[in-house]
Structure 1
C-alpha cells in the first residue's frame, strides 16, 4: 500500500473504538464505518479520531520502528533469527520488496498516522466555524494531532533519509511532507530534509500555542511539555544549539528525574514513571510481536551486546534493568520490557517511552558542548551520572576542559540511558560516527564508515511502483 491509498483504503483507522474494546483496529468490521462527515460532526467524533490516531502511532513504535535503531546500531546483539527479527536490518541488506518487515511496515504505519492526524487538523476549522463554542475543547485535540503529525514526519525522516547535517544546507532528499491526504492520481514527491524539519517545527510551534498555559498532564497524551521536549530533540538533530538548550531547559524546569527504585519502576511496574513526558499506552493493544517477546527473559531475540555492558559502573542503578543469562556466563538480558509486579490479561501492557526527562539533560549537555560551554555541559552530565550512581553530582569527577572527553561521555551516557528505547543507530548517524560493533556481533557487518548509503532504509518498492513522484535512496533502492 502506498501514500495515495491511505485516504481511500484506510480512512477511518482513527474512528474505531480501539481503546474501548478488545479488538485491534484492523479487526473492526468495516461495513458500518461512519462517514468522514459524520465522524467530524461532533467533538466526540474528533476525540474518537484522536484515540485511533494514538493507536496507529503505537503500532509502529511498539514494533519495527522502536527496534530498528537498536538492531542497526552497535549495542544490541541478535540472538535468534526468524520472521520479524529484523535480521536484514542487522546485516544491512534491507530489501525494498519487504512489505511486512521493517521497510514496508514502518513506512506504512507512519503514513497511516499522518493520514489520521491530517483528517483531524483539516476538519478543525470547518467544525469550529459552525461551532465556535467548541474551540476550547478542540484546541487541545488539534494540538495533539499536530504533535503526532510532527513526530511521524520526524520519525519517517530519521528512518528513510540521511541526517540533517549530511549536507551543509540539509538540502538532500528527505521524505514527503503530507499536510493534506493525496488523491490517487497525485504524484507525491520527497521534500528536502530541511523542508521536513521546517514543517515539523512549524507543527510543534502551533501545537505549543494551542496548548496555551496547559503545560503538562497525563504522560499517555501529548502535552505542551511533550511538544517542548520534542522541539528540543528536533533542534538538537538540526544543530540549532541555542533552541535545543532553550527548549530542554523549559522542560527540565518543569520536570523530575526518576531516582533510586523509581528508575526501574517506570519500566517494570506498570506505571507511567516520574520522568515520563510522553509514552504510548499499550492497554488493550495486541501482544503479538511486542517488546516483551523480542526482549523476553526466557528466549530473547535481542540481547545486550558486550559493547554496552562494559560501559556500566557496578554501582549504576541502571544495571537493575539487566539480568544475567543463566546459561551463558558473562551474558545478559534486558529487563526494560519485563513486568516485575503482579499482572493479568487486563493489566498487562508494554508502553514505549518516547520522551523523558533524562533526554533533556543530555540534549542540553550536547548542545552546550557544541557551543563550547564546557562547564555547562559537564554540569548536566554530572546530574545524569550522579543519579545513576546515587551520588551528589558535585562529587562526580568529570573534566570541564577537554571537549573530546566530554563528547565521549555524552556518547556513553546516551548508550547506557536509552538502550532498547529506539535511539542508538539514530545517535550514531546524526553525530556522524562510524558504526563499529563489538566482537560478539553475529552480523556479517562489523563496521561501516560514515557517511554511507546503507545508513537509511530503502523506500518501499510498492511506493516506488505506485507513485511516479517518488525517488529512491541510492544503493539500497536497487
Structure 2
C-alpha cells in the first residue's frame, strides 16, 4: 500500500483537513508542475476520492496509532512487571507508571490522528455520488466505514471508562463527528457522546462495511476484515453470542488458514495465510513501524543499546510447556526482546485468524456451545501449531491463558484486563488513571469537552 504520509497540523480535531499532492507533469520540459489542486477538484472524481481513502489507510498505519502507538499504550498501561520500559521518551514511561499527563504528546498525536482519519472517511462517505460504478462505490464506502468504525472503537476504549454489558453505559465516550470539515472557518465544538452511543456507531459502521465489502480486496479491508473486527468489538462489549457468530463466520468463510508455524505469522514482507488484515510496511516507509522501534534490538532496527521494551522474567510464567514455540519466541539484545517485532520492513499483523479461534473458543465455552468446533479443539489448533502438548480438557482459565500466550505484545493487554474486570496491580480495572486524558490542547480550545476524572 503506497500512501502519502502527511503530518497533521490542524488546530483541533475538527480541522483535520486532507492534504493531497498530485504531480501533473505531461512531459519532461514542464518547469512549473502543478502539485496541488483545489478542494472542489479533490472530491469530484472517483480517483481522487480513492487517493483520500489511501491516505486514510496510511494515517491509520502511522506510528502514533496502528503502527505501534495504540499497542504501546495498551501494553504499558497494563504492565504489572512483565515488561520493562528502558526508553528515553518520557511519554511512554507515563503509561508504565500510570501517571499520564494531559499534555502527553503521544496521547495528543493518537487523538489527532484518529480524528484526521475520521474526517477523511467522512469526506469520502459524503462524496460517493461521484462513483458511477456501483461495485466500486460499495467497496469504497465499505473501506471508509471499516476505518471509521475502527478508530472510534479504539478512541472509546482508550479515552473512556469500560463498556459494561447490561448497563446503560451513559459514561462519557468521545465526540462522534460524522460530517466532513473542509473549511477551518466553519469549525464547531462538539461535546462527548456516551460510551453507548459510540459503540452503537462503531457497530453500525462495521456492519455496513461487512455488507459492502467483497471477500477479496487485495491488501485492503475485506468482508472478513470487517467481520473479524466485529467479533473483537462484540467481545469487548460482552455480546458473547454475536462475538462467537462473527468469529465463526471468519473462520469458516474467509479462506484464511493458520500459518504453518507461529513464526510464519510475523515479520513478513507479504501478508501471511492467517492475516485477515495487516498494515502494510515497506523499506520506503518503515518509519511507520514503531512496533519495531520500541520492541526490537539494535541489530533489527531498534534503538542503540537496550530495546526500549524488554521482557522480564515474570512474563515467562504464563507458558506451561517448554516445547511451545511461543515460549521460545525471544532473543537477547542486552535484554530480552520479543521476536514478534523483529523486521522493521515487515507488515504489521492486525487481525489474525488465531484471534478468531480464541474468540470462538471463549464464547463457545461461555455459552456451552460448540459452534464450528468445541472450545477444546479450537485451543488445541493453536497449541498444535506452536508445538505445545495438546490439552485433554479446557476451562475458562486455560482458554484465557492461551489467549495471553498467543497475543502477547500485540496490544490486547489493557483492553482484555478491562473487559475481564481484572485489576492492574493495586488499581481497579476501571480506575481513572487507566484511561487516557483528553489532550490539553483540545480542552483548551473546546470548552464543551469535559476532561476525564482524575485529570
TM-score (norm 1): 0.81
Corresponding position: 1:382 with 2:380:
yes
Q: Is the 8 A contact 2:13 2:442 kept in 1?
A: no
- Count of aligned residue pairs for this structure pair: 420
Aligned to 1:26: none
For residues 204 and 242 of structure 2, the distance between their equivalents in structure 1, rounded to whole angstroms, comes to 14
Closer, same or farther: CA 165–56 of 1 in aligned 2, 3 Å: same
Displacement of 1:16 after TM fit? 4.2
CA distance in 2, matches of 1:167, 1:451: 16
Coordinate RMSD, CA, aligned:
2.5
Alignment partner of 1:355 out of 351, 360, 376:
351
Q: 1:427 aligns with which of 416, 419, 423?
A: 416
Q: Would you say the 8 A contact 2:22–2:37 is kept in 1?
A: no
Alpha-carbon distance, 1:377 to partner: 3.0
Residues 185 and 62 from structure 1, CA distance in 2 versus in 1: closer, same or farther, beyond 3 angstroms?
closer
Residues 160/141 of structure 1: CA separation in 2 closer, same or farther (3 Å cut): same
| Whole-angstrom CA distance in 2 between matches of 1:432 and 1:390 | 29
Q: Which residue of 1 aligns with 2:31?
A: none
**Which residue pairs with 1:453 in the alignment?**
432
- Could you tell me which of 65, 73, 95 is aligned with 1:68? 73
Q: Which residue of 2 is the match for residue 174 of structure 1?
A: 173
Q: Does 1:272 pair with 2:271?
A: yes
Q: SS of the residue aligned with 2:345?
A: coil
* Structure 1 counterpart of 2:98: 92
CA contact (8 A) 1:4 1:181 kept: no
Instruction: Give distance in 2, aligned partners of 1:396 and 1:114.
Output: 44
Aligned CA distance change for structure 1 residues 288 and 367 (closer, same or farther; 3 Å): closer
Q: Residues 84 and 61 of structure 1: is their aligned pair in 2 closer, same or farther, counting only changes over 3 Å?
A: farther
Per the alignment, do residues 450 and 63 of structure 1 end up closer, same or farther by CA in structure 2, a change over 3 Å counting? Answer: closer
Unmatched runs of 5 consecutive residues or more in structure 2? 1-7, 24-33, 299-305
1:467 aligns with 2:446: yes
Q: 2: distance between equivalents of 1:221 and 1:289?
A: 18
CA deviations on 1:208-229 (whole Å, 9 max, x unpaired) are 2222xx21343x3111010111
Deviations 1:451-473 (A, max 9, x none): 31112111111111111221111
User: How many Å apart are 1:449 and its aligned residue?
Assistant: 2.6
Structure 2 CA distance for aligned equivalents of residues 472 and 189 of structure 1: 11
- Which of 199, 203, 206 is matched with 1:204 structurally? 206
Deviation at 1:279, TM superposition (A): 1.0
Distance 1:301 1:85 in 2: 12
Distance in 2 (CA, whole Å) between partners of 1:162 and 1:140 is 33
Report the counterpart of residue 23 of structure 1 in structure 2.
none
Distance 1:429 1:305, change over 3 A: farther
Give the Å deviation of 1:249: 0.5
Residue 120 of structure 1 corresponds to which residue in structure 2?
A: 124
Quick check: 1:56–1:109 contact (8 Å CA) kept in 2? yes
Q: Distance in 2 between matches of 1:288 and 1:228?
A: 26
| Contact kept in structure 2, 1:64 and 1:105, CA below 8 Å | no
Moved more, 284-293 or 406-415: 284-293
- Normalised to the residue count of structure 2, the TM-score between the two structures is 0.85
CA distance in 2, matches of 1:17, 1:411: 49
Q: Which residue of 2 aligns with 1:344?
A: none
Report whether the alignment pairs 1:82 with 2:88.
Answer: yes
Match of 2:324 among 311, 316, 323: 316
Which residue in the other structure is 2:47 paired with? 44
1:110 is the counterpart of 2:110: no
- 2:209 and 2:108 mapped to 1: Cα distance? 29
Deviations 1:433-456 (A, max 9, x none): 0113xxxxxxxxxx3233311121
> Which secondary structure does the structure 2 equivalent of 1:176 belong to?
coil
Q: Is the 1:280–1:352 contact (alpha carbons within 8 Å) kept by the matching residues of 2?
A: yes
Shift of 1:311: 1.7
